[in-house]
Amino acid sequence: MKKIMIRFTLNGEKYEREVFPNMRVLDFLRNEMGMRSVKEGCSEGECGACTVIYNGRAVTSCTMLAGQIDGGEIITLEGLSNKGELDVLQQSFMEEGAVQCGYCTPGMILSAKALLMHNPTPTHDEVRRAISGNLCRCTGYVKIVKAIEMASQKIAQE
Amino acid sequence: MKEFEYYNPKSVAETLNILENTKNNNRIIAGGTDVLLMMNDGRIGPDHVINIQGVGELKYIVIEKSLVRIGAASTFTDVEQNEYIKKKIKGLYEACAHVGSPQIRNLGTVGGNVINASVAGDSISVFLSLGANLIIRSSKGKRKISLREYYNGGNQTRIQPDELLTEIQFKKPDNGVANAFFKLGKRNALAIVDIGAAVTICRNAEQTCTSAKIIGGALSRYPLEFTKVQEYLIGKKINRQTFANTYEMLQEAVYESIKDRPMEVYYKQEAVRGTFDVAFEDILRQYEERSDWNEENYDSIYLERRKV
């Protein structure tokens, strides 16, 4: 099997890597790029734990081959904090108590981030719709939705 | 995952060339959300995987004078965000907006949905109700086939290893046409369809039905066409009572289709009424709102050809 060369931007930095094409983006990000925030849940795109942002859109990295990110831009949770300073979303999740076991959290935050990137003032329903692909077994979603709404309000005030 | 050679063409011509050279055992991925899962659990094991996500030529939604043309690599999000489809072809909008989750909609394509032809495919029921045709190309040429014939015609009508689905097209609905879709599922999102009700009605100035396509997804191997209901509706006034008169016919057809599936038939033959009821109500509501529709605003709307 021939290796392929992929060129991509990850959390703002440009990279060039040679990979075997039968590697999933999930495994590539975790094992080759050290992005441990990307979690494996169901392995079939049904839980959203592996969500990353690809070219501005939330996608499930377990349903993508490494070659699919060639020429693209990826954002993982690691890319949200800037020199130790937390993103507004991360701050809100903490303040609102929207994290219990934390396993769904990276995917949740990135789905929310993708929403706010396109729609900085979402309605309550739009927030719920944006995280409809991210399952949480702990929280019951209420505080997660509240955290995202708080974050969007804080961003609007700045 | 089994090993394979990977290709990343940037044009249709390049893709057709690769398909021709790898036709012994190849697979196309446009978003990959179906194919990858099948490769992961060993259901399929292609030697060659061709990613057409980067073929900008296949990502478009074009509204022409009498035709709507959708590039096969258009994602469900692309369709969901198209203003014309959202307003004028509501059934297609509803089907694409309710596939899986936002993440799956950002990756999955209508072309993939059609070719994968899962029993649970949502957009395929609507495309059938719109009388869609497929444009399929190979290095040898081009063929056009109706979606109905593609599914019902047996192996010889299906996509061959050297072929590429490039476009799904259907007649542009005029003011007399209303299209609706409702998906019955266990959840509001991330739900596999239990019944997908796709309805396209054409009515004349006297509010009489001149044609009807009533299609049910997840009721048979390929979406079920309720021919008796369609025949009944023609010549009838489009109103609640007319639709209510079709319930028994819907139930009978569902029973005939899945009577050998005891885990499904008792539920689905009841649920089919309520499911189609939602779609029928949508049709009625669309007709009621028609008086202020301005046709000119929505001619010739193009989606930018995206370069991924």
Chain A residues bordering chain B (beta-carbon distance below 8 Å) = 1-2, 4, 20-24, 43-46, 48, 51, 54-55, 57-60, 63-65, 67-68, 70-72, 111, 114, 129-130, 132-135
Burial of B7-16, coded b for 16+ CB within 10 Å and e otherwise, reads bbbeebebbb
B289 in contact with chain A, both atoms CB, cutoff 8 A = no
Contacts of B188 in chain A (CB under 8 A): 132
Smallest CA–CA distance, residue B22 to chain A, in Å, is 15
User: How far is CA B125 from its chain centroid?
Assistant: 5
Check pLDDT > 50 for residue B295.
no
Cα–Cα nearest to A133, from B176, B98, B149, B9: B98
H or E segment to which residue A7 belongs: strand A4-10
B102 in contact with chain A, both atoms CB, cutoff 8 A = yes
More confidently predicted of B298 and B121: B121
Check pLDDT > 90 for residue B299.
no
d(CA A44, CA A76): 19
Please report the domains of chain A, with CATH numbers, ordered by start residue: 4-79 (3.10.20.30), 88-157 (1.10.150.120)
Name the residue with tokens 């060039």. Answer: A16
Residue A128 and residue B189 in contact, taking contact as beta carbons nearer than 8 Å: no
Q: Mapped to the 3 state alphabet, what secondary structure does chain B carry?
A: CCCCEEECCCCHHHHHHHHHHCCCCEEEECCCCCHHHHHHCCCCCCCEEEECCCCHHHCCEEECCCEEEEECCCEHHHHHCCHHHHHHCHHHHHHHHCCCCHHHHHHCEHHHHHHHCCCCCCHHHHHHHCCCEEEEEECCEEEEEEHHHHHHCCHHHCCCCCEEEEEEEEECCCCCEEEEEEEEECCCCCCCEEEEEEEEEEECCCCEEEEEEEEEECCCCCCEECHHHHHHHCCCECCHHHHHCCHHHHHHHHHHHHCCCHHHHHHHHHHHHHHHHHHHHHHHHHHHCHHHCCHHHHCCCECCCCCC
Residues A93-148: pLDDT tens digits? 999 999 999 999 999 999 999 999 999 999 999 999 999 999 999 999 999 999 99
Cα–Cα nearest to B133, from B108, B91, B104, B165: B165
d(CA B67, CA B69): 6
Q: Do A59 and B3 touch (CB under 8 A)?
A: no
Closest chain B residue to A73, measured at CA: B308
For domain B5-51, which architecture applies? 2-Layer Sandwich (3.30)
**Complex prediction ipTM:** 0.96
Closest chain A residue to B48, measured at CA: A1
- Collapsing DSSP to helix, strand or coil, A118 comes out as helix
Where are the domains positioned within chain B?
A: 5-51, 177-292
- Collapsing DSSP to helix, strand or coil, A75 comes out as strand
Residues B23-47: pLDDT tens digits? 999 999 999 999 999 999 999 999 9
Check pLDDT > 50 for residue B302.
no
Check pLDDT > 90 for residue B301.
no
Q: What are phi and psi of A44, to 5 degrees?
A: -135, 25
Sheet holding A57-60, edge to edge: A13-19, A4-10, A73-75, A51-54, A57-60
- Using a cut of 0.80, tell me whether the model's pTM lies above it: yes
Q: Which two tokens stand for residue B51?
A: 């990613």
Residues B133-172: pLDDT tens digits? 999 999 999 999 999 999 999 888 999 999 999 999 999 9
Q: Do A68 and B189 touch (CB under 8 A)?
A: no
d(CA B227, CA B218): 17
Q: Tell me whether strands B67-71 and B163-171 are parallel, antiparallel or unpaired.
A: antiparallel
For A31, residues 6+ apart whose C-beta sits below 8 A from its C-beta are none
Residues B200-220: pLDDT tens digits? 999 998 889 999 999 999 999
Candidates A20, A55, A63; nearest CB to B32: A63
Interface test with B, best of A9, A17, A63, A128 (most B CBs within 10 A): A63
pLDDT of amino acid B308: 28
Q: What does the DSSP 8-state code read for residue A79?
A: G
**For residues B98, B102, B104 and B107, what is the CA-based torsion angle, rounded to 10 degrees?**
120
Q: Do A59 and B107 touch (CB under 8 A)?
A: yes
User: Confidence class of residue B192 from pLDDT cuts 50, 70 and 90?
Assistant: confident
Q: Is B304 exposed, middle or buried (0-12, 13-18, 19+ CB in 10 A)?
A: exposed
User: Confidence class of residue B276 from pLDDT cuts 50, 70 and 90?
Assistant: very high
Residues A45-83: pLDDT tens digits? 999 999 999 999 999 999 999 999 999 999 999 999 887
Closest chain B residue to A21, measured at CA: B6
Summarize the confidence of residues A22-39 as an average pLDDT. Answer: 98
The neighbouring-strand residues paired with A46 are none
Candidates A54, A72, A133; nearest CB to B189: A133
Check pLDDT > 60 for residue B293.
no
Name the residue with tokens 């009978």. Answer: B252
Candidates B1, B107, B189; nearest CB to A63: B107
**Contacts made by residues B239-246, CB under 8 angstroms, sequence distance 24+:** B239/B207, B239/B284, B240/B280, B240/B284, B242/B209, B243/B276, B243/B277, B243/B280, B243/B283, B243/B284, B246/B214, B246/B276
CATH superfamily membership of B177-292? CO dehydrogenase flavoprotein, C-terminal domain (3.30.390.50)
Number of Cβ atoms within 10 Å of the Cβ of A106:
24
Q: Which two tokens stand for residue A137?
A: 């077994």
Residue B122 and residue B113 in contact, taking contact as beta carbons nearer than 8 Å: yes
The sign one gets for the Cα dihedral A57, A58, A63, A69 is positive
Q: Which two tokens stand for residue B166?
A: 């490039």
